């Protein structure tokens, strides 16, 4: 039995969390907890209420720790309680993992140095700030580190991890149960295929939040450098 802890926090991108949660919870060999500072309900970035099942202070050493992303990641980049929790979990975990911009939080905890990793396409260029080797793929494995790309890649990531731990047939059985055979109506899920006008409009729409995230990533990396020094 693999005990999986998924970090949940205010303003999490709920699909970053619920995609992997569905996969892991369907896997008979897994037990899944949502972990946060307290067990009080909190709200995701799109208004879905979520309830942590276990608090940091009561959490065991998880076999797998998973960090989703979302707007709520930004303040956590400088949150010592969260960063210390992730560092402690990483010491014994079989796999340290993330989905989307959750990779930036792993980076702020010093867990990406020298590692191949991915994240949401808008933030892949920030990974080297934390010493990571950026890879533009849906799912990237590097030893005991597994990272997924943006949002929907969390399902791919979770299936790949189940396949790694339990074999391809176990993962395919879950995929079949979910009827996970995506055929999106538009070929616009990646900046390389989306129309340039759509890509530019999105970049402009998210420019302010991206600039703020870059500022916080830089600050978090400097804190790591000082701690290493």
Q: Hey, what domains does the chain have and what are their CATH numbers?
A: 2-228 (3.40.50.880)
What band does 162 get if pLDDT is binned at 50, 70 and 90? very high
Decide if 100 is catalytic: yes
So what's the pLDDT on residue 227?
Answer: 77
pLDDT in tens, 70-82: 999 999 999 999 9
Quick check: 71 and 101 in contact, CB under 8 A? Answer: no
Contact predicate 101/147, CB 8 Å? no
pTM: 0.96
Contact 77, 216 (CB under 8 A): yes
Backbone angles phi, psi at 211, to 5 degrees: -60, -40
Closest of 19, 64, 62, 59 to residue 35, by C-alpha: 59
Query: Quick check: helix, strand or coil at residue 80?
Result: helix
pLDDT at 120: 98
Mean pLDDT of the chain: 97
How many CB atoms are located within 10 Å of the residue 72 CB?
A: 20
Q: Which of 67, 100, 158, 217 is flagged as catalytic?
A: 100
Residues in a beta bridge with 99: 148
């Amino acid at each position: 039995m693999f005990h999986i802890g998924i970090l949940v926090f205010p303003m999490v991108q709920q699909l970053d969390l619920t995609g992997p949660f569905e996969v892991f919870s369907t896997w008979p060999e897994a037990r899944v907890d949502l972990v946060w500072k307290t067990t009080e309900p909190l709200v995701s970035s799109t208004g879905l209420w979520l309830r942590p099942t276990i608090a940091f202070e009561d959490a065991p050493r998880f076999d797998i720790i998973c960090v989703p992303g979302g707007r709520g990641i930004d303040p956590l980049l400088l949150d010592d309680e969260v960063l210390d929790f992730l560092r402690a979990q990483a010491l014994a975990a079989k796999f340290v993992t993330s989905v989307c911009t959750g990779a930036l939080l792993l980076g702020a905890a010093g867990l990406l140095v020298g590692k191949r990793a991915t994240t949401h396409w808008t933030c892949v260029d920030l990974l080297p700030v934390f010493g990571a080797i950026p890879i533009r793929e849906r799912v990237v494995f590097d030893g005991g580190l597994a990272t997924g790309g943006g949002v929907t890649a969390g399902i791919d990531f979770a299936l790949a991890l189940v396949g790694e731990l339990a074999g391809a047939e176990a993962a395919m059985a879950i995929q079949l149960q979910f009827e996970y055979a995506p055929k999106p109506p538009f070929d616009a899920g990646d900046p390389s295929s989306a129309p340039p006008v759509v890509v530019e409009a999105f970049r402009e729409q998210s420019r302010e939040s991206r600039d703020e995230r870059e500022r916080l990533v830089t600050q978090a990396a400097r804190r790591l450098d000082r701690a290493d020094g």
